[in-house]
Structure 1
Amino acid sequence: MKALNILLLLFIILLLGSGCAEKIHVENCVQGEAHGFLDGLIHGVIAPFALITMLFKEDVTVFAIHNNGFWYAFGFILGSGGWGILAGKKK
């Protein structure tokens, strides 16, 4: 039960934090400095919420269009759960 409460608290914090995210128009995403590792990490964490939002709004994307390639993608993968990279071995 304690683990469930901690998980619920983390989910609420994540939900409230993602609500504070700045909205950037797609046209502005291809200008300026490319998104890097830290941006990819943050985008990976909020990706589930962005995916749900994409159902209702056309101007929301999950993956930044203007990124620096490998490091952005690596941060995105880690932020979205790491595809099991960080999972421990089962006993």
Structure 2
Amino acid sequence: ENKRLESWLMIVTAFGVTALLVPGLFVWSRFVTVPGDATEIEVVAQQWQWSFRLPGKDGKLGTSDTRDVTADNPLGVAPKDPNGQDDVLVEAADLHLPRSE
């Protein structure tokens, strides 16, 4: 055992990890900043299948819960939530949106 060597290696490793991580966090924050006018879309992946839920005319997604999942309600949208009554459900492999959205 060499306590001095272990301490030195620990400090150098911590400095190296910090030097690599900090610039990456600044770059990452620019990529994950969501624009204020972005449309929220819920995407559910199942084996061999995709489902999409888009907000309706009110612009809000209703709440969902796994306890509400049925054959008629595959995404579990809460039946009593008024925000979910006009949600648009798309069960397809692709979702095409206009360029402006």
Please state which structure has a larger fraction of its residues in helix: 1
**Rg comparison, structure with higher value:** 2
TM-score of the aligned structures, taking structure 2 as reference length: 0.26
Please state which structure has a larger fraction of its residues in strand: 2
